[in-house]
Amino acid sequence: MWGQDWMSISELLMPFPEKPKQTFAKKMRAQNYTVEKMYRVAEDFFVSLNFSSLPESFWKLSMLKKPADGRRVMCQPSAWDFCDTQDFRIKMCTEVSFKDLLIVTHEVGHIQYYMEYSGQPFVFRQGAKPAFHEAVGDTMVLSLLTPEHLERLGLVDPKDLLDNDEQKSLNFLMEIALKKLPLVAFSYVMYKWRHDVMSKTYSSEQLNCRWWELREKFEGVKAPSKRSEEDFDPGSKWHVVADLPFLRTAELIKVNIFRYQFSKILEFQFHKALCEAAGKYPTIPLHKCSIYGNAEAGEKFRTLLKAGYSEAWEDTLEDMTGVADMDVRPLLEYFKPLHDYLVAENARTGETVGWTKGETRC
């Protein structure tokens, strides 16, 4: 609906569609995966890096499944810090699926961050900046999505290992790109629209059409049918109607506005630094590097998490990665094999890169 993830059209875009697709669902069923097991898998990843296991109260008090008694709940996955240094919970209507396994890992990442900085004074119990919070679990997801780790989970057959076959590996990278990269454009649109609404750049008669203008310009998507000011499409996004408070000062805007966009860049910075700490990168390319079970990488990551909000985010980031700013290079390194392939393939087929705006359907 928002074009924030393009996995649903991945079949149209696979570099090598004749190669059989990895289907994890069947393997998960064969192994009797349950909702609890999915949380245990995420927990185990962190524990392998010397993080703490999830407290008993987490298992007792969280809402990990849609309640069976039919009561109405909000299913949007979220992780909660009850600020007493012990009580941490997740609320999610988890289903047994590979997609949800990745979301579970993301949410458990929030909980691990809460637990690590719980030793800080209350005011410092926050992410170094909001994007850091979003990037913790997704950094683990990058290790989880490697042939090595998927084999460990029994989700790919050893004989079917992706790195035996470059074409399958490119298909897999394309899927990850379709999952992660469109969010950078979508979150920019969402926050730019919010910012422009609050700064009164638009009149109240232009809210929906301005939304579509931004979506076409930055995401390259069009509305599936004619829209008008009778519609209010931005309101379909939970974050617009329910989540972030109105921002008052320029500083707050700077910190919050790019929460999701920056987190996508950060997770690759984290992943690269951790693969280096684990002594794996550059011997193993980033998209095949898993830090599972590596104490050095764990130590490095925990130091960042423990600091919470107690230092300038630039310092926290520099301690871990050696770079004191957002840096898109690790993301580009991660996707380099796919990028090289696309450059060559587009040159071969004479494909036009990019899009023109055309007529707005609003």
Positions that interact with Zn ion (CB under 5 A): 134
Name which of 127 and 330 has its Cβ closer to Zn ion: 127
Q: Which residue of the chain is nearest Zn ion when measured via CB? A: 134
**Residue 259 is labelled as binding a ligand:** yes
Provide, rounded to whole angstroms, the least separation between the CB of residue 106 and Zn ion.
Answer: 6
Strand partners, 89: 80
Distance CA 199, CA 71 (A): 39
Residue with tokens 């500083």: 251
To the nearest 5 percent, what fractions of the chain are helix, strand and coil? 60, 0, 40
Distance CA 345, CA 297 (A): 36
Name which of 102 and 278 has its Cβ closer to Zn ion: 102
- C-alpha 337: how far from chain center: 21
Look up 107 and say whether it is catalytic. Answer: yes
Q: What are phi and psi of 81, to 5 degrees?
A: -110, 115
Residue with tokens 């423990």: 306
- Element containing residue 79 per DSSP (H, E): strand 78-81
Look up 149 and say whether it is catalytic. Answer: no
Provide, rounded to whole angstroms, the least separation between the CB of residue 134 and Zn ion.
Answer: 5
Name which of 207 and 305 has its Cβ closer to Zn ion: 305
**Residue 95 is labelled as binding a ligand:** no
Catalytic residue among 151, 213, 239, 318: 239
Name which of 134 and 267 has its Cβ closer to Zn ion: 134
Name which of 45 and 172 has its Cβ closer to Zn ion: 45
Evaluate whether 57 touches 86 at the Cβ level (below 8 Å): yes
Q: Which long-range contacts (CB under 8 A, 24 or more apart) does 335-340 make?
A: 335/173, 335/177, 335/287, 336/285, 337/166, 337/169, 337/170, 337/173, 337/285, 337/287, 338/15, 338/170, 338/173, 338/174, 338/177
Cβ neighbours, 10 Å, residue 339 = 14
Evaluate whether 92 touches 104 at the Cβ level (below 8 Å): yes
Q: How many CA atoms lie within 13 Å of 229's alpha carbon, on the beta-carbon side?
A: 7
Catalytic residue among 36, 56, 95, 107: 107
Name which of 134 and 216 has its Cβ closer to Zn ion: 134
Residue list for the binding site for chloride: 259
Residue list for the binding site for Zn(2+): 106, 110, 134
Residues annotated catalytic, as ranges: 107, 239
Residue list for the binding site: 106, 110, 134, 259
